[in-house]
Amino acid sequence: MPQRDVLGYLQALGPLIAALVAVGVALMQRHLQKQQLKQNLFEKRWKVYTGVQDYLAAILREDGNDLLGPYPQFRRDTDPGELLFSRAVWEHINAVGEAGLGFRTARSKVKHHGTLAMLQSVRGMRAKNSGVMNGLASWAKRNAKKRN
Protein backbone atom coordinates (compact mmCIF):
# COMPACT_ATOMS: atom_id res chain seq x y z
CA MET A 1 0.00 0.00 0.00
CA PRO A 2 2.77 2.57 0.59
CA GLN A 3 3.46 2.73 -3.18
CA ARG A 4 -0.10 3.71 -3.84
CA ASP A 5 0.11 6.51 -1.29
CA VAL A 6 3.26 7.94 -2.96
CA LEU A 7 1.65 7.62 -6.37
CA GLY A 8 -1.47 9.34 -5.03
CA TYR A 9 0.59 12.26 -3.70
CA LEU A 10 2.37 12.64 -7.04
CA GLN A 11 -0.95 12.63 -8.85
CA ALA A 12 -2.26 15.27 -6.46
CA LEU A 13 0.83 17.50 -6.96
CA GLY A 14 0.66 17.33 -10.78
CA PRO A 15 -2.03 20.04 -11.19
CA LEU A 16 -0.27 22.24 -8.62
CA ILE A 17 3.01 22.01 -10.54
CA ALA A 18 1.21 22.80 -13.80
CA ALA A 19 -0.45 25.83 -12.18
CA LEU A 20 2.92 27.10 -10.88
CA VAL A 21 4.46 26.75 -14.34
CA ALA A 22 1.52 28.66 -15.85
CA VAL A 23 1.95 31.48 -13.29
CA GLY A 24 5.69 31.61 -14.03
CA VAL A 25 5.04 31.91 -17.79
CA ALA A 26 2.44 34.63 -17.18
CA LEU A 27 4.87 36.64 -15.05
CA MET A 28 7.56 36.35 -17.69
CA GLN A 29 5.15 37.51 -20.41
CA ARG A 30 4.13 40.48 -18.26
CA HIS A 31 7.76 41.45 -17.80
CA LEU A 32 8.46 41.19 -21.54
CA GLN A 33 5.40 43.28 -22.39
CA LYS A 34 6.49 45.98 -19.93
CA GLN A 35 9.93 46.07 -21.53
CA GLN A 36 8.37 46.31 -25.02
CA LEU A 37 6.13 49.16 -23.86
CA LYS A 38 9.14 51.02 -22.44
CA GLN A 39 11.01 50.53 -25.72
CA ASN A 40 8.08 51.82 -27.79
CA LEU A 41 7.64 54.82 -25.49
CA PHE A 42 11.36 55.59 -25.70
CA GLU A 43 11.26 55.51 -29.52
CA LYS A 44 8.28 57.87 -29.62
CA ARG A 45 9.88 60.25 -27.13
CA TRP A 46 13.16 60.12 -29.01
CA LYS A 47 11.40 61.34 -32.17
CA VAL A 48 10.10 64.34 -30.23
CA TYR A 49 13.55 65.08 -28.76
CA THR A 50 15.19 64.90 -32.18
CA GLY A 51 12.42 67.13 -33.58
CA VAL A 52 13.30 69.78 -30.99
CA GLN A 53 17.00 69.39 -31.71
CA ASP A 54 16.48 69.65 -35.48
CA TYR A 55 14.33 72.74 -35.00
CA LEU A 56 16.97 74.50 -32.92
CA ALA A 57 19.67 73.60 -35.42
CA ALA A 58 17.52 74.88 -38.29
CA ILE A 59 16.79 78.14 -36.45
CA LEU A 60 20.49 78.80 -35.95
CA ARG A 61 21.39 77.69 -39.47
CA GLU A 62 18.78 79.57 -41.52
CA ASP A 63 18.70 83.25 -42.37
CA GLY A 64 15.03 83.79 -41.45
CA ASN A 65 13.81 84.95 -44.85
CA ASP A 66 10.45 83.21 -44.63
CA LEU A 67 8.08 83.88 -41.76
CA LEU A 68 7.63 80.40 -40.27
CA GLY A 69 10.66 78.55 -41.60
CA PRO A 70 11.09 75.19 -39.84
CA TYR A 71 8.28 75.82 -37.32
CA PRO A 72 5.59 73.74 -39.11
CA GLN A 73 7.95 70.75 -39.21
CA PHE A 74 8.74 71.33 -35.53
CA ARG A 75 5.02 71.18 -34.72
CA ARG A 76 4.57 67.95 -36.72
CA ASP A 77 7.53 66.36 -34.93
CA THR A 78 6.62 67.47 -31.42
CA ASP A 79 2.80 67.37 -31.31
CA PRO A 80 2.76 63.73 -30.11
CA GLY A 81 4.81 64.89 -27.12
CA GLU A 82 1.71 66.27 -25.43
CA LEU A 83 0.63 62.70 -24.69
CA LEU A 84 4.12 61.30 -24.06
CA PHE A 85 5.56 63.75 -21.53
CA SER A 86 4.57 65.44 -18.31
CA ARG A 87 2.96 68.87 -18.45
CA ALA A 88 6.21 70.60 -17.41
CA VAL A 89 8.21 69.00 -20.23
CA TRP A 90 5.47 69.75 -22.75
CA GLU A 91 5.41 73.41 -21.68
CA HIS A 92 9.18 73.58 -22.12
CA ILE A 93 8.90 72.13 -25.64
CA ASN A 94 6.30 74.79 -26.47
CA ALA A 95 8.57 77.47 -25.00
CA VAL A 96 11.35 76.31 -27.31
CA GLY A 97 9.01 76.68 -30.30
CA GLU A 98 7.93 80.17 -29.26
CA ALA A 99 11.51 81.20 -28.54
CA GLY A 100 12.53 79.98 -31.98
CA LEU A 101 9.81 82.08 -33.59
CA GLY A 102 10.92 85.06 -31.51
CA PHE A 103 14.51 84.46 -32.50
CA ARG A 104 13.56 84.39 -36.18
CA THR A 105 11.61 87.63 -35.71
CA ALA A 106 14.58 89.26 -33.99
CA ARG A 107 16.92 88.05 -36.73
CA SER A 108 14.57 89.46 -39.36
CA LYS A 109 14.51 92.81 -37.54
CA VAL A 110 18.30 92.90 -37.50
CA LYS A 111 18.34 92.24 -41.19
CA HIS A 112 15.87 95.06 -41.88
CA HIS A 113 16.33 97.51 -39.00
CA GLY A 114 19.68 96.85 -37.34
CA THR A 115 20.99 95.33 -34.14
CA LEU A 116 19.22 97.71 -31.75
CA ALA A 117 15.79 96.49 -32.89
CA MET A 118 16.87 92.91 -32.27
CA LEU A 119 18.07 93.66 -28.75
CA GLN A 120 14.78 95.39 -27.95
CA SER A 121 12.84 92.44 -29.34
CA VAL A 122 14.86 89.96 -27.29
CA ARG A 123 14.42 92.02 -24.13
CA GLY A 124 10.65 92.06 -24.69
CA MET A 125 10.52 88.29 -25.11
CA ARG A 126 12.80 87.63 -22.16
CA ALA A 127 10.00 88.19 -19.67
CA LYS A 128 7.87 85.59 -21.45
CA ASN A 129 10.49 82.85 -21.90
CA SER A 130 13.31 83.79 -19.56
CA GLY A 131 15.21 80.47 -19.55
CA VAL A 132 15.39 79.95 -23.29
CA MET A 133 15.64 83.63 -24.12
CA ASN A 134 18.68 84.27 -21.89
CA GLY A 135 20.80 82.20 -24.25
CA LEU A 136 19.39 84.01 -27.26
CA ALA A 137 19.98 87.41 -25.64
CA SER A 138 23.62 86.60 -24.97
CA TRP A 139 23.99 85.52 -28.59
CA ALA A 140 22.44 88.83 -29.72
CA LYS A 141 24.80 90.86 -27.52
CA ARG A 142 27.83 89.01 -28.86
CA ASN A 143 26.68 89.66 -32.42
CA ALA A 144 26.01 93.31 -31.61
CA LYS A 145 29.59 93.71 -30.39
CA LYS A 146 30.90 92.02 -33.54
CA ARG A 147 28.82 94.27 -35.81
CA ASN A 148 29.84 97.51 -34.05
The average confidence (pLDDT) of the chain is 77
- For residue 24, pLDDT beyond 90: yes
The predicted model scores a pTM of 0.55
Average pLDDT rounded to a whole number, residues 130-147? 57
- What string of DSSP letters covers 104-137? HHHHHHHHHH-HHHHHHHHHHHHTTSHHHHHHHH
| Residues 11 and 34 sit within 8 Å (Cβ to Cβ) | no
Count the neighbouring beta carbons within 10 Å of the beta carbon of residue 9: 10
| Residues 8 and 44 sit within 8 Å (Cβ to Cβ) | no
Lowest mean pLDDT among 6-15, 80-89, 100-109, 136-145: 136-145
Instruction: Assign residue 91 a region (left: φ > 0; alpha: ψ between -120 and 50; beta: otherwise).
Output: alpha
pLDDT of residue 1: 46
Most confident of 4-8, 23-27, 77-81, 114-118: 23-27
pLDDT of residue 7: 78
Average pLDDT rounded to a whole number, residues 78-85? 87
Average pLDDT rounded to a whole number, residues 91-97? 89
